[in-house]
Amino acid sequence: MTTKTEVKQYLNYINGEWVASSNEEVTESISPANKNEIVGYVQKSTKEDLDQAVAAAKIAQVAWRKLSGAARGDFLYKVANILESKLDAVAETMTREMGKTLPEAKGETARGVAILRYYAGEGMRKVGDVIPSTDSDALMFTTRTPLGVVGVITPWNFPVAIPIWKIAPALIYGNTVVLKPAGETSVTAAKVIECFAEAGLPAGVINMVTGSGSVIGQGLIDHEDINGITFTGSDQVGKTVGQGALARGAKYQLEMGGKNPVIVTDDADLDLAVEATISGGLRSTGQKCTATSRVIVQSGVYEEFKEKLVAKVKEIKVGDGLQEGTWMGPCASESQLNTVLSYVEKGQEEGATLLYGGKKHEEEGLENGFYVQPAVFDNVTNDMIIAQEEIFGPVLALIKVDTVEEALDVANDSKFGLSASIFTTNVSNMLSFIKDMDAGLVRINAESAGVELQAPFGGMKLSSSGSREQGEAAKEFFTSIKTVFVK
């Protein structure tokens, strides 16, 4: 057990300085692998701290936007190199703080480095188009202008990649940033911001204020000097962000949940489908917005697929993400564990058959962590709660269908539309899926989770609101188009 005296305290980063909260209160961030281990203390900040950060960002934006894109890009290249040099340490902190396995945490940190480099290059790419004017003596073109100060509210499930995929495009297009990271992963966020600080970005360009969602998150939504808010998290909080921003005319971008289906047709390569369902559904303990949760299987291969799936799920080694050989770490928090357990109970109450798992691990060594067995449900119908609500845990719901058309109807019968995949060898099934599946990401013979940083990311229906994140698409949110007419 870690004692209070050994544990480091992490400060807010405001106007180029590491500072304590004005009320000098801190909260502890604990490890989900062992609730007695404190990973660090973080500031329980106040509205006053937030006001200082926003004021600093507002002042800094005046000079930051005047730099060339290439000069802003140079800073991002520096941040990328620093993060790369600290990759192992940042990844280890992530694993300790939110539980995903060390190889996954390293992969995510490497992705953060790649995102920074991608957007560093974006500083040299085109920002507008020349549009022929009806006046032959005039030149008409578009350029882009930054929003101003952007509020960034992030979740705990990708504590390095998500802040970076919002901060990097915000900065490259000339905005300054105030980050409010998730409470569960504020130490990891501080490690990321340390890289920006070390790279020597001008004071006020990037700020981080830790604290509760209701004070700091809500404070960002309501702050009149925040010109845009980019948010990833639950659909409930997302709605609050959208309504609050809309009420005062600020721009907003919301990435929320998913209830992502995989369709397995009679002609599919079943081994590939099993492998991808497990990887897509259970990696990161199912805590990805793109995680597979509804497994819609055609009747001709249903029994065979089910047997193969359950046999493989039983082999999954659950444990501390820092230990070699662990395939699945704990849930990120006690409340997340309780959510998973309550959905497992609801599924059984509704009449689904629990084929395997779904219980809290109480074995020696795991009893102090938020560990749950991966769960597989059989006899699920799509109207059940476990097939409609986002669980955000390692729970797979098997749904039997007779035809590919029925599979598509079931897949689309959801309030979410983030990611969807199909396993089939039939070209016409592939084409129907591409055309008729209502999801922002449609993936053929590949797991539902898995996003390339240079491509647009986002969903339909309740999954997203506002323009897409990542890749070139990010500029739609972080800039406004200016149409220029020169005569």
- Applying CB under 6 A, among 27, 81, 143, 240 the residue interacting with ligand NDP is 240
- List the interface residues with ligand NDP, window 200-239 (CB under 6 A): 212-214, 217-218, 221, 232-234, 237
H or E element that contains 465:
strand 464-465
- As beta bridge partners, residue 28 has 41
Judge contact between 424 and 444, C-beta under 8 A: yes
Does position 153 interact with ligand NDP (CB under 6 A)? The reply is yes
Using the rule CB under 6 A, give the single segment among 92-100, 114-122, 128-136, 152-160 that binds ligand NDP: 152-160
Q: Is 254 in the site for ligand NDP (CB under 6 A)?
A: no
Q: Which is nearer to ligand NDP, 240 or 445 (CB)?
A: 240
Binding segment (CB under 6 A) for ligand NDP, from list 102-110, 151-159, 307-315, 360-368:
151-159
User: Does the protein bind ligand NDP through residue 155 (CB under 6 A)?
Assistant: yes
Tokens matching residue 465 = 């609101």
Assess contact for 368 and 392: CB atoms under 8 A: no
Site membership for ligand NDP, residue 32 (CB under 6 A):
no
- Residue 97 interacts with ligand NDP (CB under 6 A): yes or no: no
Burial of residue 137 (CB within 10 Å: 0-12, 13-18, 19+) is exposed
Choosing from 92, 97, 195, 289, the catalytic residue is 289
Whole-angstrom Cα distance, residue 160 to residue 190? 10
Q: Say if strands 139-146 and 34-43 run parallel, antiparallel, or are unpaired.
A: unpaired
In whole angstroms, what is the distance from residue 310 CA to residue 104 CA?
23
339 binds ligand NDP (CB under 6 A): yes
Does 256 contact ligand NDP by CB under 6 A? yes
Note whether 93 binds ligand NDP by CB under 6 A: no
Q: Of 97, 122, 194, 255, which is the active-site residue? A: 255
Give the number of residues in contact with ligand NDP, rule: CB under 6 A.
Answer: 27
The C-alpha angle 445, 451, 454, rounded to 5 degrees, equals 125
Tell me the one-letter amino acid at 143: T
Determine, following the binding rule CB under 6 A, whether residue 108 of this chain makes contact with ligand NDP.
no
Q: How far is the CB of 378 from ligand NDP (least distance, A)?
A: 23
466 is a site residue for ligand NDP (CB under 6 A): no
| Eight-class DSSP state of 391 | -
To ligand NDP, the closest distance from the beta carbon of 98 in angstroms equals: 10
Closest CB 220 distance from ligand NDP, rounded Å: 7
Contacts of 135 (CB under 8 A, 6+ apart): 487
Q: Which stretch binds ligand NDP (CB under 6 A): 76-84, 128-136, 150-158, 167-175?
A: 150-158
In the complex, what is the shortest distance from the CB of residue 484 to ligand NDP, in angstroms, rounded to a whole number? 36
For residue 167, the SS3 value is: helix
C-alpha to C-alpha distance for 420 and 287, rounded to whole angstroms: 16
Q: What is the 3-state secondary structure (H, E, C) of 72-123?
A: HHHHHHHHHHHHHHCHHHHHHHHHHHHCCCHHHHHHHHHHHHHHHHHHHHHC
Residue 190 touching ligand NDP (CB under 6 A): no
- The yes-or-no answer on residue 331 being catalytic is no
CA distance 166 to 206: 12
Closest distance to ligand NDP from the beta carbon of 455 (Å):
17
Is 195 part of the annotated catalytic residue set?
no
- Which of 339/445 has CB closer to ligand NDP? 339
- Strand ranges, E, within 199-317: 206-208, 228-232, 251-255, 260-264, 292-298
43 near ligand NDP, rule: CB under 6 A: no
Residues annotated as catalytic (active site), given as ranges: 255, 289
Site of interaction with ligand NDP (CB under 6 A): 153-157, 180, 182-183, 212-214, 217-218, 221, 232-234, 237, 240-241, 255-257, 289, 339, 390, 392
